Structure 1
Amino acid sequence: MPRVALGVAYDGSAWQGWQTQPHGISVQDTLEAALSRFVAQPAATICAGRTDTGVHALGQVVHLDTAALRRPESWVRGLNALLPDSIAVQWMRSVSDDFHARFSALSRSYVYVVRNARVRSPLVDRRVGWVYHDLELAPMQQAGARLVGEHDFSSFRSSQCQAASPVRTMQALSIEQKGEYFFFTFKANAFLHHMIRNIMGALLYIGQGRQEPSWIDALLAQRDRRLAAPTFAPHGLYLAAVEYPAVFGLPGSDPLEACFTHLGWVAGAQAVEPPMLPGRR
């Protein structure tokens, strides 16, 4: 049966995560209901990464097997006509049957957008994280650099995590500031449950001066979640991009560029220019 890959974006505020739930209030349940109507048969999907309650996606990738024949544009517009405003298919590609949305992925990139201001803004509620204590960029950057590479991330792992191993490879971690907005970009082969949100808690402690950057080394060595900072809120966390081998021919994007494309109004509301990206002049 032919295999189809879809790029999906969603606002996670109203949904209890990606994964199907008994009550049906998840992104997967809603997408599969629309797919079943669109292809006129039951449809089951596999995703690149299961996002938590309240976490958003700009570049989620799913695949499904179906005998339905539709033009790519019909997949996008037809499905979006059946989906709520908070979920939208961005693209469709026909792929070979050896493609797997989860296991074929080379990396996953998340972007955490944090607004650092004394007073909260209702205009960006649930779209960005909010920290009212002053944040210093340099200490957070120094701490983030210590997380790059292969590590045992037990100190940043949820007690509910079901992964067989706590070892992951952080391929890149960058932090940029423009005005009152901080952009944290994480790229790894895979992530543990709540791993990014737990790392964010530690980085923000360091940015507030409550810990030194070297604290990250101690946390990695101690491998004890109880010694690290509290889990940061899901608001402002985006699954921004998933990278696959070029042979599959799927659209690719820079995660930070994807974030600006979808959230340009956030920066524009405060007259903040996006950070300089590689190749941008």
Structure 2
Amino acid sequence: MSDEVQPGFVRVRLDLSYDGTAFSGWAKQAGGRRTVQGEIEDALRTVTRSGTTTYELTVAGRTDAGVHARGQVAHVDLPREVWAEHHTKLLKRLAGRLPRDVRVWALREAPAGFNARFSAIWRRYAYRVTDNPGGVDPLLRGHVLWHDWPLDVDAMNEAARRLLGEHDFAAYCKRREGATTIRTLQELSLVRGEDGIITATVRADAFCHNMVRSLIGALLFVGDGHRPPDWPGTVLAAGVRDSAVHVVRPHGLTLEEVGYPADELLAARSKEARNKRSLPVSGCC
């Protein structure tokens, strides 16, 4: 599969954010459910006066229903004449057409070889949770999970360190036919802020379905003392879903940032990311 843009088209990068509360996820769905992709594509079709033509977006990471994004990235291929006519006013027109829970912050012609999904080298998420006995600040209730047991952040960080690196995360993923569950977890750390909110930073080259929310679910069991710090690592090594690992609610999760390599490496990264991964086979002694 090539990332060459069709003749007569321009690939445009979009940087955007959204509050996922009222969305049924990123991806368009049958049945008329409200999605981020659907809203942006509808707005783009309207402001470019494209009639019934829909220019389809490709996104860095599909988010589930209720998950937020602050640093999402997508691309769209537009006819060169459409881009030439509208690009100077496109951002402001989208702001006037889009609903208030989704914003496009930047639009620019993408460098050669850019693919919002396959060129990315990492995605960084934050999951926010509080163990305040009184619950969550009402102004933050759509973005912070309440956990009604005291949490030991040090124990959670000890457990998190055992999960770093390249592994088969099948135990923490909802399987999808034909999709690999091998990922490289680059960062997993938790910090309690002065306001008492614990922010977990999770960064990986990519994530399989429900991976972040399952990892947080396991760490919460360690933090509240129901499991020892080595338990999440034991679950990982077993390679199968454990019924004790809960997928935490989506509203605490936000896609914060997507990382890309230097422009000259974009095409090579895109090609590499399409290769199905496998773990190296260890030799027998």
Which TM-score band applies after superposition, normalised by the shorter structure?
0.7 to 0.9
Q: TM-score, normalised by structure 2?
A: 0.83
Q: Aligned ranges for residues 61-76 of structure 1 at < 5 Å?
A: 61-67=73-79, 68-69=83-84, 74-76=89-91
One-letter identity of the residue aligned with 1:38: V
Matched pairs, number? 249
Q: Unaligned regions of 5+ residues in structure 2, if any?
A: 1-8, 267-285
Structure 1 stretches of 4+ moved >4 Å: 70-73
Q: TM-score, normalised by structure 1?
A: 0.84
Determine if the alignment matches structure 1 residue 44 to structure 2 residue 56. Answer: yes
- Which residues of 2 match residues 190-269 of structure 1 at below 5 A? 190-247=206-263
The 2-side partners of 1:31 and 1:206 are apart by 40
Distance 1:249 1:169, change over 3 A: closer
| Alpha-carbon distance change, 102 to 163 in structure 1, aligned in 2, over 3 angstroms | farther
CA contact (8 A) 2:24 2:33 kept: no
Contact map agreement 1:6 1:63 (CA 8 A) in 2: yes
Output the amino acid matched with 1:165.
T
Task: Tell me whether 1:142 sits opposite 2:158 in the alignment.
Answer: yes
Corresponding position of 2:271:
none
> Which residue pairs with 2:189 in the alignment?
174
Alignment RMSD:
1.9
Question: Is it true that 1:77 corresponds to 2:92 in the alignment?
Answer: yes
Of the structure 1 ranges 178-187 and 46-55, higher mean CA displacement relative to structure 2 is found in 178-187
Aligned amino acid, residue 123 of structure 2: R
- Distance in 2 (CA, whole Å) between partners of 1:14 and 1:171 is 31
Aligned to 1:2: 10
Match of 1:27 in 2: 36
- C-alpha separation in 1, matches of 2:238 and 2:67: 28
Q: Which amino acid aligns with 1:229?
A: V
Q: Given that residues 112 and 263 in structure 2 are in contact (C-alpha distance below 8 angstroms), is that contact kept between their aligned partners in structure 1? A: no
Q: Distance in 2 between matches of 1:71 and 1:175?
A: 44
Code of the residue aligned with 1:222 in structure 2: it is A
Contact 1:2 1:97 in 2 (8 A): no
Q: Which shows bigger deviation, 22-31 or 239-248? A: 239-248
Distance 2:33 2:47 in 1: 18
Distance in 2 (alpha carbons) for counterparts of 1:248 and 1:40: 34
Structure 1, 15-24 or 54-63: larger mean CA deviation: 15-24
Deviation at 1:163, TM superposition (A): 5.5
The unaligned stretches of length 5 or more in structure 1 are 251-281
Which has the larger Rg? 2
Identity of aligned residues (%): 37
The aligned counterpart of 2:147 is: 131
Quote how far apart the aligned CAs of 1:76 are: 2.2
Structure 1 residue 164, shift from structure 2 partner:
2.0
Alpha carbons of structure 1 residues 192 and 119: separation in structure 2 relative to 1, 3 Å: same
